[in-house]
Amino acid sequence: MKRLAVEESEFIPRDVRDVVLYLHSRNPPVAVRFVAAFKATVSLIAGMPRLGRKRMDLGLPEVRSWRVQGFRNYLLFYEITPTRLRLLRVLHGYRDLQAEMV
């Protein structure tokens, strides 16, 4: 499969900002690493979008998730279209994912 163009939902900038602010308050270098890891994860998935697992458990069969590289508790949720990788959310795995994804 060829590398897909990436499209972000309106939630992605806010989700990334929230994670960065949270991490920065505890450890600023980790917040910087998160941004780089998020970008690397998006790049990886754009080239191999079927890596993530389908989220049937959330009642969203078209949605997949993949862990942000190096940040196993943070999940990137996305959909694959014929021409695009649509990023939906970046959420901590301990949150109520079903409620957040609706």
- Give the dihedral sign, CA 95/96/98/99: negative
Please state the length of the chain: 102
Q: Convert the pLDDT of each residue in 2-11 to its tens digit.
A: 789 999 999 9
d(CA 15, CA 75): 11
Q: For residue 98, how far is the Cα from the chain centroid?
A: 15
For the chain, how many structural domains are there in total? Answer: 1
Q: Which of 82, 90, 76 is nearest to 4 (CA)?
A: 82
Q: Convert the pLDDT of each residue in 24-53 to its tens digit.
A: 999 999 999 999 999 999 999 999 999 999
Q: Are strands 60-68 and 5-8 parallel, antiparallel or unpaired?
A: unpaired
Tell me the whole-structure pTM to 2 decimals: 0.92
What amino acid occupies position 79? E
**Residues spanned by the domain of 45:** 5-101
CATH code of 42's domain:
3.30.2310.20
